[in-house]
Structure 1
Amino acid sequence: MFGPPSPLIENYLRKAGFWHVANIGWGCKLDSKLISAFIERWRPETHTFHLLYGVVCYDLLGAILDNIYGGQIEMGWLRDTFLEPGDDSTEVERIRYARAYIIEMI
């Protein structure tokens, strides 16, 4: 992920309804054991997690992207193409960066 959202794109993220989503989890410590447990229970053929209490479905967008890209989505080009805007950036550059930021969040 790009990192915490730049204040220069806050208004664009708010307009798109992604400001709160962009700020979820910053400063939180990831639990590697929990992540490993989810990875072990993931079934790519059905896009579901098989858990003790039942099956949890994967979101539709994730399933579509998984099918299109075979689960190998490389987002490095997004970071290389849309650099974080500076104070001297144009409105168009900020809007493009905000859109790329949203795409990577999704």
Structure 2
Amino acid sequence: MSGPPSPLIENYLRETGFWHMANIGRGCKLNPKLISAFIKRWRPETHTFHLPCDESTITLKDVQLQLGLLVDRSVLTESIQSVD
């Protein structure tokens, strides 16, 4: 597990409201078997997890609620295409 974020960026993380994001998971033990099980069930073409009981989609709202992110602006909902 990595250490705390560098003191050089701590103020930037705090100003943007991402300080708590940089500290998520500290002290948590990751379960490699559980992570592998979720990876095997992820379907990138539909952005869903296919579980034995049903299908589950993780939305940006879910992530916002789980991580305690503050949203104070409109959300970008359209894809941005690169010009080659």
Q: Structure 1-normalised TM-score? A: 0.48
Q: CA deviation at 1:52?
A: 3.4
Q: What's the counterpart of residue 37 of structure 1?
A: 37
Give the equivalent residue in structure 1 for 2:16.
16
How many aligned positions are there? 62
Change (3 A) 1:59 1:33: same
Structure 1 residue 56: Cα displacement: 2.2
- Name the structure with the higher helix share: 1
Counterparts of 1:11 and 1:43 in 2: how far apart (Å)?
Answer: 37
1:52: which partner in 2? 52
Deviations 1:6-55 (A, max 9, x none): 12211110111100011011232210111011011111221111123432
Q: Deviations over 1:41-79 (max 9, x none)?
A: 111221111123432224469xx6xxx8xxxxxxxxxxx
Deviation, 1:3, is 5.1
Question: What CA distance in whole angstroms lies between the structure 2 residues aligned with 1:48 and 1:4?
Answer: 32
Structure 1: tracts of 5 or more residues without a match:
69-106
Higher relative contact order, chain-length normalized (CA < 8 Å, sep 6+): 1
Q: Distance in 2 between matches of 1:21 and 1:5?
A: 10
Normalized against structure 2, the TM-score is what? 0.58
